[in-house]
Structure 1
Amino acid sequence: MNGGVEVNGEPESSDSMKTFGAFVQGLREHAGLSREEFGARVHMSKHSVASIELGRRLADQSFVDAAEGVLGNTGALRKAFGRVARQPGFAVWFRKWAALEQEAVSLATYECRLVPGLLQCEPYVRVVFGNRIPPLSDEQVEAQSVARMERQYVLHERPNTSFSFVMDEHVVRRRLGGAEVTRMQLDHMLACAQLRNVEVQIMPMESEVHAGLGGPLALLETADGRRLAYSEGQQTGQLIADPKEAAILHRRYATLRAQALSSWDSVSLLERIRGEL
């Protein structure tokens, strides 16, 4: 899946979130700090800071308290924060799934269209949004890209959660954005594949069997043993919570993993494709 925060139309936000974000940005710039420098002081990535400043992510009290300390302790941020309309920055159909992701002990994704959102490098992300129809404005591309990059923190900050990715070989061979973007994307995927909690597998083009012909699929399991699924299409997405239906999709994914190259052979294939560019 590609991260419902930004898929299929404008993510929801509120004017007060955008106003609060602009206020944070103004104070940060007045203090002479870059997003990266400010982020380090409030214990956030520069992508997370950007997402708050652009009104795409709702700040929490810990951010406000930390930011106040960095930006002068005037109390202005706390007052502004009290007026923020708390409206989630996720597409409507993705909200429940996004909340469930925060509890998941395992997450699995199959993709046949493009590199899964959690594995996309920033140049690739910008190409993806640059290809949207109808076209997005520069501001929209920036906001969407920041949100997608921010979501990737889960790979690094949740080492006890298992992540599995299966994608068709043509996805990683497609030179979306050109050879240079493709090289960066392959390098990024290879780096992610080195994480102990991440497994990347490729379904080879010459395979004569394929359990994923029904389309893209995301699966998760919660700590209490619930198994759910999420299916995403054009302009919509569906959370599948019925135990019988979810069980079928989990079996399909298990078969798909068995049919795909092993993680070791998949990394070798990605390296060969990278060497051909």
Structure 2
Amino acid sequence: MTETETAGTSGGGEPEVSESLKSFGEVVKAFRKRARLTQEEFAPLVRYSLPTVASIEQGRRFPPVDFVDRAEEVLDAFGTLKGAARHLSRKPGLASWFRQWAQLEAEAVSLYTYECRLIPGLLQTEAYAQRLFRDQLPPLGDEQIEAQMAARKERQRLLTERPNTAYSFIVEEHLLRRQLDGERTTRELVDHLIRLAERRNIELQIMPVVRDSHAGLDGPMRLLETSDNHWLAYCEGQESGRLIHDRKVVSMLQMRYARMRSQALTLPDSLGLLRQMRGAA
């Protein structure tokens, strides 16, 4: 089971080719040839496999951030590759139905997330995310997992690069009790959540296992406030997602989220529970 925000490519194959991806690939190829390197010689210098390099140059593979950085240095590209990468038209490893929401959350002034299935992608550690991707069915190839990890890491930069955005997360306690991938991964996850919860712009609340009233039983939800103070919502299933503009529906979801905030543990109590879990791990 994996978070469908990064379900990867449509149909599980290569990502759809876009003109910007093809253009970027041609630029990489031109600088590689200028440096008089074959693909076989270039691949180990950027620490990626030959098939990955070939896919990027053919415009069939979205370049990970570290590939762009390494290629820029190896090829002495004068900032050209980094500049071209900023204009690529699709996000790496993001499911088609999630991309519009991903673009909106990158500019949101407030972002609220309730999750009952798994730790939200923005909060995941690398080990936790890797476990999710390795367990996904149908199985993913190494390059697909690599692309999804790159997408996850890129999204997570929002938490540190947008300090004026207010983030609120409500997460079910049972997700932390499950010990996905073992005690070590869970301990790393709890430590990571504690560090995030201590940031001024991040509020993390735990919904206890035992609760006689729960406003979120209809499932996960996300809410965001745009820069012009317009609220939108997003709900997703296993293979689909829905961006919600309808003000009545958004208002209803805001009402449910507000109620859950009062039903979940307070911020200090949630942090205290995490510290208790860390001590017991």
TM normalised by structure 2 equals: 0.77
Q: Percent identity?
A: 45
Give 1:124's aligned residue.
128
| Cα distance in 2 between the residues matched to 1:95 and 1:246 | 19
Change (3 A) 1:69 1:129: closer
Q: Please, which moves more after superposition, 92-101 or 108-117?
A: 92-101
- 1:103 shift after superposition: 2.5
- Identify the match of residue 180 of structure 1 among 162, 181, 184: 184
- 1:98 shift after superposition: 1.6
* Number of residue pairs matched by the alignment: 255
Instruction: Please tell me whether residue 152 in structure 1 is matched to residue 153 in structure 2.
Output: no
| Cα distance in 2 between the residues matched to 1:271 and 1:115 | 17
- Identify the match of residue 55 of structure 1 among 61, 65, 78: 61
Give 2:268's aligned residue.
264
Q: Please, which moves more after superposition, 85-94 or 21-30?
A: 21-30
- 1:235 shift after superposition: 0.5
Contact 2:123 2:156 (8 Å CA) reproduced: yes
Contact 2:114 2:169 (8 Å CA) reproduced: yes
Aligned residue for 1:166, secondary structure, equals: strand
- Identify the match of residue 241 of structure 1 among 239, 245, 258: 245
| Cα distance in 2 between the residues matched to 1:174 and 1:143 | 26
Q: Please, which moves more after superposition, 141-150 or 109-118?
A: 141-150
Contact 2:8 2:144 (8 Å CA) reproduced: no
1:1-277 counterparts in 2 under 5 A? 2=3, 4-6=5-7, 10=12, 12-14=15-17, 16=22, 19=25, 55-56=61-62, 71-73=75-77, 86-89=89-92, 90-277=94-281
State the 4+ residue runs in structure 1 displaced beyond 6 angstroms: 24-29, 31-35
Contact 2:45 2:74 (8 Å CA) reproduced: no
Aligned residue for 1:246, secondary structure, equals: helix
Aligned residue for 2:234, secondary structure, equals: strand
- 1:88 shift after superposition: 4.6
Q: CA RMSD in A?
A: 3.8
Q: Which runs of 5 or more structure 1 residues have no equivalent in the other structure?
A: 36-51
| Cα distance in 2 between the residues matched to 1:150 and 1:156 | 11
| Cα distance in 2 between the residues matched to 1:154 and 1:229 | 18
- 1:249 shift after superposition: 0.3
- 1:3 shift after superposition: 6.9
